[in-house]
Amino acid sequence: MIDALHRTAALLAITCLAACNGAGHDRTAEAHEAAEPEWTALFNGRDLEGWIPKFAGHPAGENLRDTFRVEDGLLTVSYENYEDFDGQFGHLFFDGEFSSYEVRAVYRFIGDQCAGAPGWAFRNNGLMLHGQRPETMALGQNFPVSVEAQMLGQREGGGERRNGGVCTPGTNVVMNGEVVKDHCIGSQGPTNHGDGWVEMLVDVDGHGDIRHFVDGELVHSYSGAQLDPRDGDAKALLAAGAATALDRGTISIQAESHPIQFKSIEIRVREGR
């Protein structure tokens, strides 16, 4: 998929350069704009083709209790077949790795949280970025080593719960020139009440800047994603030869005990990345 995107972007760039040869600054700007890569859907609206589930305590590829499913064209995390959550944290990985790109998801939380789940997981999901591949996770591992653009919701009439923070399972990030070792770093984003649709866009520049946008508003910015040598799962990756600095990896969504639906998940990969 990445190669196809690169070929498309290259053809567009060649076409624009030929058309704008000898033109002024305005025509050059138009050519640059036309050469921008297009958005490509990661979720096809029909099924889970191209995605790999991984649940704690189960091998990669097993979709525990049909948790991840497509309902009415929406990618859905459902707890219909659960009596109790029982620590069954899950993730759904797109089968590929990316470095420099924008990823955009339109989602909404629905219904009630699964019984037996931790309170912090209420209306909680995320886009897991620069992640490890699912087959490299330990059988009982709860979360992939990754950087999470956190999706948080709030019930109607509830208090402030700002959306768009960052969490760092097995990783650290850099803010204001310093490595931040806190697991979760809140944002100044909006509080999204109820079951309305929300758009989250994350702009990822390899090992450089990562920026979170909620409904078009910049809510978080950091850089320097890296493995945390204090973390057991990250230690295993380092021992296997992984570099400390993270400049690419998988994208996944979560099953953390609260039902959620995704209308779309799209990516725009930068040329050569």
- CB-CB contact of 123 with 196 (8 Å): no
Cβ neighbours, 10 Å, residue 62: 13
pTM of the shown model: 0.86
Considering only CA atoms, give the Rg of the chain. Answer: 19
Cβ-contact 254, 54 below 8 angstroms: no
Asked if residue 203 lies in contact with residue 104, where contact means CB atoms within 8 angstroms, the answer is no
Q: Which residues contact 231 (CB under 8 A, 6 or more apart)?
A: 145, 169, 170, 171
pLDDT score at 15 = 35
What tens-digit pLDDT sequence spans the chain (273 residues)?
444 444 434 433 433 333 444 444 455 445 445 567 899 999 999 999 999 999 999 999 999 999 999 999 999 999 999 999 999 999 999 999 999 999 999 999 999 999 999 999 999 999 999 999 999 999 999 999 999 999 999 999 999 999 999 999 999 999 999 999 999 999 989 999 999 999 999 999 999 999 999 999 999 999 999 999 999 999 999 999 999 999 999 999 999 999 999 999 999 999 654
Distance CA 55, CA 256 (A): 10
Orientation of helix 2-19 relative to helix 25-34, angle to 10°: 160
- Among the listed residues 5, 77, 24, the one whose alpha carbon sits nearest the alpha carbon of residue 271: 5
